[in-house]
Structure formats: C-alpha cells, structure tokens
Amino acid sequence: MQNNLVLLTGNAHPELARKISEKIGVPLGKMSVFKFANDETFCKIQDNIRKRDVFVIQPTCRPVNDNLMELLIIIDACKRASAKSITAVVPYYGYSRTDKKDQPRVPITAKLVADLLTVAGANRLVTIDLHAEAIQGFFNIPVDALYVMPIFIKYIKTKIGLDNLVMVSPDAGGAARARTYAKKLGENVDIAVVDKRRIGNTGASEVINVVGEVAGKKCILVDDIIDTAGSITQAADVLKKRDAKEIWAMAAHAVLSPPALERLEKSPINEVVVSDTIPIPAEQKLNKITVLSVSELLAETIRRLYYGESVSVLFA
C-alpha cells in the first residue's frame, strides 16, 4: 500500500497493533525490543525508516513505567534513524489522572509524560478518551484525541436498543459525557447522574444521591476508565435499589486492577462493555465483559494522517 508508512509496536499491546496492520494493509515493521540482564530496555529497528512516516503503537498501560520507557526508547531510535515524522499512537495514556495539582506538593505527571514524549522525538500524539481534555494543552505538538463513543453508540443501537433508555454518569464530573451520549442517541434518551464524594487518595468513594429518573429504565453507566470498579459497581448498586430494569456499564479503558473482577462479577451489572485500548488477559474476560475493538478507528486515523486528510469526521 504505502511505501513510506511504517508501523512499529512495542510489547504493550502487539495484538492491537496486528489488527491495525491488517486493516491498513501494511505489515508491522521489524524491530527487536527486549531487556538486558540488568533490566535496561533496548530496541533495534531492523528496517530502513529514513525519510519515512513512522507510527509507534504503544498504550502506556500496566506495567505502566516499563511500557512508557519502551515507547520513549522506540521514539528516540526512530528520531536517530532519521524518520521523516514520528507519531505516538497511545490508545491509553497512562498517568492521565494526575493532570492537576489538587493537593499541596504533588506532581502533574500527565504533563511530565507529555514533555518526555516530545523530547524523545514524537511529532504527533494519537490517543483515545483522555481522562482530562486539558491534557491536550500539555503538548506543543498536534494531538488527535479520539473517542470510543461512535463504537459504543453503534453497539447501543444494535444490541441494547433506545427504548426506555437512560445514560447514567457514575459521578458529577462525567455528566457532560452522559449528556453527549444521550444527545447522539436521540431526544428520547434521558440522563441521570450518581452524586458521590471521593475519600482521600485511596480511590474509594461513597454514593450520596441519584439525580434523574431510573426506575423501570434500561440504564447505561458510561465512564472513561474502569480501574478497581468501585465507583461503577457502587453506582450500579444504587441504580438497582432505585428499581432500574437493566444495567450496563461502558468504559473506554479496562484497567481492571484488583478487586475489579470480583466487584463486577458480584454487581447487578448485566454486561460490561469496554474497548481493547488495553490488552485484557484471557483470565480477566468474565462472561459479562464484552470487548469492542478500536483497531478500525485507529487504522483509519493513521491512514488519514498519512495522506494529509482530516480526521474530524471520525469524531461524528
């Protein structure tokens, strides 16, 4: 297909990279990435990438620091090999929740990661469902912040249906997201918000109230990340107590830190719909977890960027 387009991937999510490669019709570039005995990461690109447009596919998911360092080293290798352009395709942007100083003497690690990527040599970032939109402003290079929303909306329309449907935010901060989903789905889709407060730095929270009518409704809890699943399962418990008919949970990024699986399994949530921005091991794929792929979205984004076409149509 494109002689000057190069796709590279580290060890974070080779399965997603292979899917993207197949959809674009460009084989993954040959590259060795490994650790020495002293735990230092090394990479060697086998193909000539001089004056070529390189896309490095690497979510910075668990193990976050290893995958981030690997990404930086690959980008540096591309820069020193005289690549024409280097686009970091980071479906899941690690450290995105450390995006502001909300306490004294704490870092803004999302900004630090942006600086590291830029210094390493990235000319552009492609990512999906940033935890905070303001992270785009941490970069002095172009950022294409995509959304899984079109993928999830298609699933809702074909598998769940729009009748008697309510989009629910598990917290006040995500109300705008739930409202956008409802708007895209049609005027008959309502919204509700679970009001909660967080407890310290533990990630724990407690539910205070539900704003909106959920009794007898099909409720879809929508969020950007499911980490320990505390917030979303607490919200589901409250919806069930408020006589919700059926409950779904949807989130772009399935981090699934313990005890997420146990919480989701025991929760009244009928189905958990996530994307494959983060690899989900076979042992974590509960029967109630459905994984939708972002490979087509990313493949089309890469194709459009390579040909200099607009990517705004992908936000529709």
Query: Contact, 210 vs 239, CB < 8 A?
Result: yes
Cα dihedral: 87, 26, 253, 149 (round 10): 90
Give the residue among 227, 290, 234 at the shortest CA–CA distance from 253.
Answer: 227
- Specify the length of the chain in residues: 316
Strands 289-292, 190-199: parallel, antiparallel or unpaired by DSSP? unpaired
Phi-psi region of 164 (alpha: psi -120 to 50; beta: other; left: phi over 0): left
Q: What are phi and psi of 291, to 5 degrees?
A: -110, 120
Question: Which amino acid, 258?
Answer: P
Q: Annotated catalytic, 241?
A: no
**Torsion angles phi and psi, residue 88, rounded to 5:** -85, 115
Locate 99 and state its tokens: 């995006």
Spot the catalytic one: 196, 218, 240, 288: 196
Q: Which positions are catalytic?
A: 196
